[in-house]
Amino acid sequence: MFGRKVQQDKVPSNAEVNTIIGEACQIEGNFKLGAGTTRLEGTINGDISGDASLIVGKDGRVYGNINVEHLFVYGHVKGNIKARTVELYNGSVVEGDITVEVLFIEKGSIFNGQSVMKRGTEAP
């Protein structure tokens, strides 16, 4: 519990974007996030993991499981999601289960799956 709290401070949800996976980029295989925030505008066929933030842009596509600290979705995710915070915005599509501590879903988001709320840490 304490460890996670310390980690939460180390990984802010508003860290600068230092990785862009551009439009029409396609990654086949698992992807490990670097420090800061990664913005995905292309497609990843594989799992994504890392103690960092991920923004899935409008044209971003993920076919695989996601296990990150913070996830912001504007595009499509097909797979299970495990994160501390997940925010789904208008136009986003998620097909899969979400295990999360803090969940935000904007009007116009599509979420098909099961959500499991983890408890034990305070909201950010």
Partner 1 sequence: MKDRITISIVWHDHRKPILFSVRVSALKKLALFLSFLAFAWFLLQLWSLWNFMEKRKLLAEREEVNQKVNHLNIERLRLEEDREKINNSKEKLKELTSRIQAIEEYLRKRGIKLENKGSVGGATYTPTNDAEHLSFLIQRSDVLYNSLRTLPTGYPLEGKLTSSYGWRKNPFGKGYEFHTGMDIEAPAGSPVKATADGIVIHTGRLHLYGETVIIAHASGYKTLYAHLSRIEVKEGDRVLAGQIIGRVGSTGRSTGPHLHYEVIKDEKAVNPEEFVFWR
Asked whether position 108 contacts partner 1 by CB under 8 A, the answer is no
Residue number with CB closer to partner 1 (30 or 90): 90
Give the C-alpha separation, 46 to 2, whole Å: 31
Asked whether position 79 contacts partner 1 by CB under 8 A, the answer is no
DSSP reduced 3-state for 3:
helix
In the list 14, 24, 120, 123, the residue contacting partner 1 (rule: CB under 8 A) is: 14
Asked whether position 23 contacts partner 1 by CB under 8 A, the answer is yes
Q: How many helices (H) and strands (E) does the chain have?
A: 1, 16
Asked whether position 69 contacts partner 1 by CB under 8 A, the answer is no
User: Using CA of residue 58, residue 61, residue 64, residue 66, what is the dihedral sign?
Assistant: negative
Residue number with CB closer to partner 1 (23 or 28): 23
Which positions touch partner 1 (CB under 8 A)?
A: 14, 17, 20, 22-23, 37, 39, 41, 55, 57-59, 72, 74, 89-91
